[in-house]
Amino acid sequence: MTVVGHLINGEMRTDAARTQAIFNPSTGEESKQVALASVATVEEAIAAAEQAFPAWRNTPPAKRAQVMFRFKTLLEENSAKICEMIGEEHGKISHDAAGELQRGIENVEYACGAPELLKGEHSRNVGPGIDSWSEFQPLGVVAGITPFNFPAMVPLWMYPMAIVCGNTFILKPSERDPSSTLFIAQLLQEAGLPKGVINVVNGDKEAVDVLLTDSRVKAVSFVGSTPIAEYIYSTANANGKRCQALGGAKNHAIVMQDADMDNAVNQLLGAAFGSSGERCMALSVAVAVGDEAADTLVAKMKAAMAPLKVGAFSNSDNDFGPVITRAHQLKVNGFIDSAEADGATIVVDGRNPVVEGYDDGFFVGATLIDGVTPTMESYQAEIFGPVLQIVRVNTMEEAMKLINDHEYGNGTCIFTRDGEAARYFSDNIQVGMVGINVPLPVPVAYHSFGGWKRSLFGDLHAYGPDAVRFYTKRKTITQRWPSSGVREGVSFAFPS
């Protein structure tokens, strides 16, 4: 059976004392094994990255950017193959995988602007004959640890910018669907990157803990669930590293009575059930303001959900595919069970759907639950499945309080035709990414991505302008070249 290995110092390696199964979620079959890196293997990758750093740091930004231009071309040329690899291990349908890849490529395009992005700040004559400037220097070896749900896009949020800023990189992808991630890193190598600048180690907690504690690693970017994000952030900080750790979510959409209801329903369908709800920006709660809005929304959603098709990744007629593992399928079903036990109404039940020819796939059908209340476990937890819960409230203030009181603050959206209400909402809601009639307000590559509250630990958001700050440190130089023959007296006063 194929073993997915590591990319270290430009070489592919499959050595591993430990391995773990990778499944095709559409069939439920084990398809490959992934090597789980030992401490020694990760240390080797760190050594390779450290060795590559001095030369890469001194490579002109324009030359570094040229590698990214070639990388973008290779990604586009190989897009069909990448989407197939994502589908086999994640379960995404090709149209969804293509969207993820395109969003990743946009981050590579942003990284192509490195010479402009890395320009410093200069002030002439800050004092008599004195000039001062700030420049942004790379950190050294940096690491990224990524989740299963965007095996192409989330790693591309990280290493193109880190590398183009002059750092060398070690990526630890999700062990559940590592093949596309590894293949994409090989394409970057092929684009002309010197050996050791990008390294990929597959593995689990053992590998991650080396990256968190080894003093040669200067910064860590993490994307994954909140409990692990919190662990990563505190451990990296305790070991003196810069860290940004993006966590989980529970994204609410407010549906106002005045909304264009048909449009809201269409938007909610894609945002709640696309990618089986396995998106950190998925809308998983619709807060209907007023019973009239709620009744209309539930009736229209129920009708619109009837033709939705869950099925294998290989059939592009399907709307969405399976969830990632059998354990996760059972967990999502368990949340639907608990909502029912807590008194909510299962309007559309996606538990155990029949998918002809794929009896053992990890499928959950689109599910709609009405009458959910904030005390229910299914409301509080991130379900990460194709489940939309309806909460009924009487006022917009009540809806906003619900969102502001939730532990997560990743994304949110309001559906309304009222500009004043929309403006008040975006101004006051305690969430990092806000949509006005836009269900998945994922910022484009030249803005930055990040939630608030327990959806992000750290100060700087992912990709975009914040990535330049995260992957560099500022140095400010003050310079004077005294005119020949001028002697200055001694002064003990603070220079002013």
Nearest to 228 by CA among 148, 119, 157: 148
Determine, following the binding rule CB under 6 A, whether residue 455 of this chain makes contact with ligand NAD. yes
The residue range among 35-43, 244-252, 308-316, 365-373 that interacts with ligand NAD, by the rule CB under 6 A, is: 244-252
Given the residues 83, 112, 243, 280, select the one marked as catalytic: 280
CA–CA dist 3, 292 (Å, integer): 55
Determine, following the binding rule CB under 6 A, whether residue 23 of this chain makes contact with ligand NAD. no
Q: Around Cβ 260, how many Cβ atoms within 10 Å?
A: 13
Determine, following the binding rule CB under 6 A, whether residue 180 of this chain makes contact with ligand NAD. no
Q: Which amino acid is at 399?
A: A
Are 6 and 189 in contact, with CB atoms under 8 Å apart? no
200: which strand partners? Answer: 7, 171
Are 253 and 268 in contact, with CB atoms under 8 Å apart? yes
Determine, following the binding rule CB under 6 A, whether residue 224 of this chain makes contact with ligand NAD. yes
DSSP output for 168-223: EEEEE--SSS-HHHHHHHHHHHHTTPPTTSEEE---SHHHHHHHHH-TTEEEEEEE
Residue 273 burial (C-beta neighbours within 10 Å; 0-12, 13-18, 19+): buried
CA–CA dist 410, 416 (Å, integer): 20
- Out of 248, 274, 350, 409, name the contact with ligand NAD by CB under 6 A: 248
Torsion of CA 11, 15, 21, 22, to 10 degrees: 0
The residue range among 4-12, 19-27, 53-61, 201-209 that interacts with ligand NAD, by the rule CB under 6 A, is: 201-209
Question: Minimal CB distance to ligand NAD: which residue?
Answer: 224
Determine, following the binding rule CB under 6 A, whether residue 274 of this chain makes contact with ligand NAD. no
Question: Between 402 and 442, whose beta carbon lies closer to ligand NAD?
Answer: 442
CA–CA dist 351, 342 (Å, integer): 17
Catalytic annotation present for 280: yes
- Out of 52, 228, 376, 422, name the contact with ligand NAD by CB under 6 A: 228
Strands 29-36 and 18-24: antiparallel
- Out of 85, 246, 261, 289, name the contact with ligand NAD by CB under 6 A: 246
- The least distance separating ligand NAD from the CB of residue 449, rounded to whole angstroms, comes to 6
Q: Around Cβ 39, how many Cβ atoms within 10 Å?
A: 14
Strands 6-8 and 11-13: antiparallel
Q: Pattern of binders to ligand NAD over 378-407, x per CB under 6 A?
A: ----x-x-----------------------
Question: Between 223 and 298, whose beta carbon lies closer to ligand NAD?
Answer: 223
Site residues (CB under 6 A) for ligand NAD, limited to 127-146 = 145-146
The residue range among 95-103, 218-226, 372-380, 466-474 that interacts with ligand NAD, by the rule CB under 6 A, is: 218-226
Nearest to 152 by CA among 123, 117, 178: 178
Question: Between 174 and 296, whose beta carbon lies closer to ligand NAD?
Answer: 174
- Out of 71, 150, 273, 470, name the contact with ligand NAD by CB under 6 A: 150
Contacting positions for ligand NAD (CB under 6 A): 145-150, 154, 172, 174-175, 204-205, 208, 223-225, 228, 231, 246-249, 280, 382, 384, 410, 451, 455
Active site residues: 280
